Amino acid sequence: MADFFGPDVAYRYDRDHCNQTDEELEKSVEFLAELAGSGRALEFAIGTGRVALPLSDSGIKVSGIELSEAMVGELRRKPRGNEIPVAMGDMTQTSVEGRFSLVYLVFNTLSNLTSQDAQVACFRNAAAHLEDGGHFIVENAIPPFWGLANDTTKMAFDRSDSHWGIDEIDVVTQQGTSHHVWLEEAGPRLMALPFRFVWPSELDLMAALAGLELVERWQDWWRTPLTAQSKVHVSVWRKR
């Protein structure tokens, strides 16, 4: 898995990429804490600790796996950021000692794994860290075919005074690239991030291969029912 989150991206990550409101963050932490119960939680791609730190504040013992040293550096700069143990490495194969009642992977990060094999390996690694009856949670975008006109391969997902975002999508290979342009006083700043889009039903098959079964699927952390117009899903699988 390539590391696209170097120092420049990590420094700006919370500002540039995390458009989650305080209310959404609070609700996601509440959802995660409920399923973690009295056990421990493991975050794949823990990043800057945007979710892990408030989850830890709620009383859950949180550990993480992260590929980017720069992202963990930002985590360590935050209050209590040094208190959360993080194993450096790829979330498809890196191991953490012990078993967890909850493993979670949020904010479309599963799609940063750009092959089906890597996504399958991620599910298997999650299952390997779970205790029996433990839960794996994934928050990920639903393929945005509703936004593609005939013969169109590009669609805008953000158009503001400070940022333009355009996804370039190959529906045959399930490969895509998110192009970002930030409009700043010093001039435009560019970033391109590859991804692999994946249907929720395909994730259910990956889960089954890893010995997990689906128990919940919603369009947000408030448990709003999923519809044909939903752009994101929050899925919960349980280790058999």
Q: Where are the domains of the chain?
A: 7-143+198-239, 145-193
Predicted pLDDT of residue 29: 97
Query: What CA–CA distances, in Å, run from 187 to 11, 17, 83, 113, 183?
Result: 18, 19, 38, 31, 6
- What is the spatial distance between Cα 163 and Cα 156, in angstroms, rounded to a whole number? 11
Residue 10: name the closest of 191, 136, 185, 227 by CA. 191
Predicted pLDDT of residue 17: 57
Prediction pTM value? 0.89
- Secondary-structure class of domain 7-143+198-239 per CATH: alpha beta
- What is the spatial distance between Cα 148 and Cα 146, in angstroms, rounded to a whole number? 6
Predicted pLDDT of residue 50: 93
Predicted pLDDT of residue 35: 97
b/e string for 31-57 if b means 16 or more Cβ within 10 A? bbbebbeebbbbbbbbbbbbbbbbbbe
**φ and ψ at 2, to 5 degrees?**
-75, 150
160 Cβ contact list (under 8 Å, min separation 6) = none
Dihedral sign for Cα 121, 43, 170, 217, please.
positive
Strands of the sheet containing 154-159, edge to edge, are 154-159, 163-170, 175-184, 187-196
Low-confidence ranges of the chain (pLDDT < 50): none
Helix axes of 116-129 and 200-209: crossing angle, nearest 10 degrees: 50
Predicted pLDDT of residue 22: 87
Are 63 and 40 in contact by the 8 Å Cβ rule? The answer is: yes
220 Cβ contact list (under 8 Å, min separation 6) = 24, 27, 232, 234
